[in-house]
Amino acid sequence: MSQPIPTHLVWAILSTLLCCWPLGVVSIVYACRVDRHRAEGDLDGALEASRKAGLWALWSALSVAIIFGLFVLFALLGELLK
C-alpha cells in the first residue's frame, strides 16, 4: 500500500477564495493532478504535483500579506511626507 500524498486542495481553494485568485487557481490545478498521478501509479508525479500545489497556495497567501504590507508602508510614508 502506498503512502498517502496530501493534495493541498483545501488550502488551494481557500487561497483562491481569500487571497490571490490567479495563484490559487494554479494551486487547484496541481492539487487535482495529485490523485490522477497516484491512480496511474506515478508516485513521483503525485509527489511533485503535491509539492507544487502547496507552494502555489503558499505564494497566493503570501502575496496578500506582501501587498497589505506595501499598502501600510506607503500609507505611513504618505503621512510622514505631509
Q: How far is CA 22 from the centre of its chain?
A: 10
Quick check: 10 pLDDT over 80?
Answer: yes
The per-residue pLDDT for 2 is 62
The radius of gyration computed from the CA coordinates of the chain, to the nearest angstrom, equals: 17
Neighbours of 35 (CB within 10 A): 15
pTM comes to 0.84
d(CA 74, CA 69): 9
The per-residue pLDDT for 82 is 81
The per-residue pLDDT for 3 is 73
The answer to whether the CB of 9 falls within 8 A of the CB of 45 is no
The per-residue pLDDT for 30 is 98
Degrees, nearest 5: CA angle 39-35-17? 165
pLDDT digits (tens, 9 = 90+) for 27-81: 999 999 999 999 999 999 999 999 999 999 999 999 999 999 999 999 999 999 8
